[in-house]
Amino acid sequence: MSTQSIESNSEGNQTVQFKVLSDGQCEKILNAALEILERTGVNVHSEEAISLLKAANCDVDGIRVRVPSCLIQKAINTAPSRVVLCDRNGNRKLFLEGNNSYFGPGPTCPNFIDPKTGERRGAIKQDAVDTAIVSNALPNIDFVMSLCMISDHTPELADVHEFHAMLKNTTKPLVGWTFDVTGLQDIVDMCSAVAGSLEELQRNPFVAMYSEPTTPLSHSKDAIDKLLFLSEKNLPVVYTPGMILGGTAPVTIAGALAVGVADNLIGLLLSQLKREGAPFIGAAPGGPLDMKTMQHSYGAPEWMLQHAASTDVYHYLNIPIWSAAGATDSKVVDQQSALESALQIAISAFGGAHLIHDVGFTDLGMTGSLAQLVMCDEIIGMVRRFINGVDIDEAHLAVDVIDQQGPGGQFMCAEHTFKHFKNELWSPTLLDRQSYGDWKNQGEKTMGARVTEKVQKILDEHKPEPLAEDVAKKLDEIVERAQQRVR
């Protein structure tokens, strides 16, 4: 199955133009982050990281580290401006560069909407399997995350089990997370077994791994260990804060960006100190603390603004960009979830963010939903058609065709229509365009009902390409080795 990219903000092209911040405003955000790193500094809870920063002539006082701006500027210059992710078979698929945008599910939802009963329950390994299968079938889902944090296997190995489930049930690129570097080693071992070797995995990586600092301005040992491990292995790492505006970051979007960029740039610096040129994916995402409910809102316009502004900053820095969309605060797939998801997907794609996760999140990021994932696939397709824009050339202007038909003519039977309609007109798979009578005769199905049917049809019928038997056995052995370690 081929993967589409969407490129927005392309001058001289027929596509949309969208930015929240000017280059001058991006420069102000960067300078504020540099001032924070020089004046306030960050707490670093890793002896290896402290040693690297000391050797680079940072000001180190215990765990507090203040960083000269020149070191950050050098790290920005040495980090790759593009990262390419392959599929499981080594085919280059996702080009994180320019304004290409790719979409996938998010991780770590402790709850899941059961695809058969519709009930909310604790997430299990089968949910990671089902997420991979459904994602593999959907044409507008470009990479896979687990959409859950499973509870039916050894808790300390939820990350390893989820990755095991994904590797076996999709060929698409993967993004994973881990509790610590030990689990990360298990996952890299599994990926190396699939690729044939670590060297082949490094040459054609089909996985990026996520690690997260503790905003504001604190970097845990586990977060840094994972970052340094991946940098040493020359494998792509996503190292971004998860800010809550008014909670763990300033309530102002500009202030949250400043502290988030500062935290992210420490990760960038450490990655480059560990291995110059190590692939790094950055951002300063976050959302507001709703002051009425004390919940972190995914559906708020400020959440969308924060991500869009972050995208502008990282385009300015020329660093591959992590972002999010397709999430909702609603507890079910309904009008609210459609509204919030559609706005997020459009804004993230219009801005040209690269790796856009969290598709399928409901319930303030607490519950994964395959129905939400499937509905958002339709929305992404619709947005991609919008971004493809308007072709202005002789064939599309159709002046000769208009002349042939003349005043009062019709174009339904014109050869020009037959030649162009499939590429010009986007065709939905879920949205209803029937007459009222036809809709009524076919069961009066709501969007929600159509989504549920599509989820079940994919789970019943779609069969992802299996791994070779000997490779699948190696993965099982790595998981069993991990089980023995924690017993």
Using the Cα atoms of residue 300, residue 306, residue 309 and residue 315 in order, give the sign of their dihedral.
negative
Residue pLDDT, tens place only, 250-301: 999 999 999 999 999 999 999 999 999 999 999 999 999 999 999 999 999 9
Residue pLDDT, tens place only, 110-133: 999 999 999 999 999 999 999 999
Q: Residue 473: pLDDT above 70?
A: yes
- Euclidean distance between CA atoms 29 and 456, whole angstroms: 46
Amino acid 1: pLDDT: 43
Rg over CA atoms, the chain:
23
CB atoms inside a 10 Å sphere around CB 252: 12
Instruction: Please list, in sequence order, all residues whose beta carbon lies within 8 angstroms of the beta carbon of residue 92, skipping any fewer than 6 positions away.
Output: 84, 85, 86, 204
Q: Residue 5: pLDDT above 70?
A: no
Residue pLDDT, tens place only, 397-455: 999 999 999 999 999 999 999 999 999 999 999 999 999 999 999 999 999 999 999 99
Residue pLDDT, tens place only, 336-373: 999 999 999 999 999 999 999 999 999 999 999 999 99
**Of 191, 189, 125, 132, the residue nearest 157 (C-alpha):** 125
Pairing between β-strand 64-66 and β-strand 42-44 as defined by DSSP bridges: antiparallel
pTM of the model: 0.95
CATH of domain 6-22+76-387: 3.20.20.480
- Euclidean distance between CA atoms 139 and 129, whole angstroms: 18
Assign 487 a pLDDT band (cuts: 50, 70, 90). Answer: confident
Instruction: Please list, in sequence order, all residues whose beta carbon lies within 8 angstroms of the beta carbon of residue 245, skipping any fewer than 6 positions away.
Output: 251, 252, 253, 256, 286, 287, 288, 289, 302, 306
- Sorted by where each begins, the domain ranges of the chain are 6-22+76-387, 394-424
Using the Cα atoms of residue 435, residue 440, residue 446 and residue 449 in order, give the sign of their dihedral.
negative
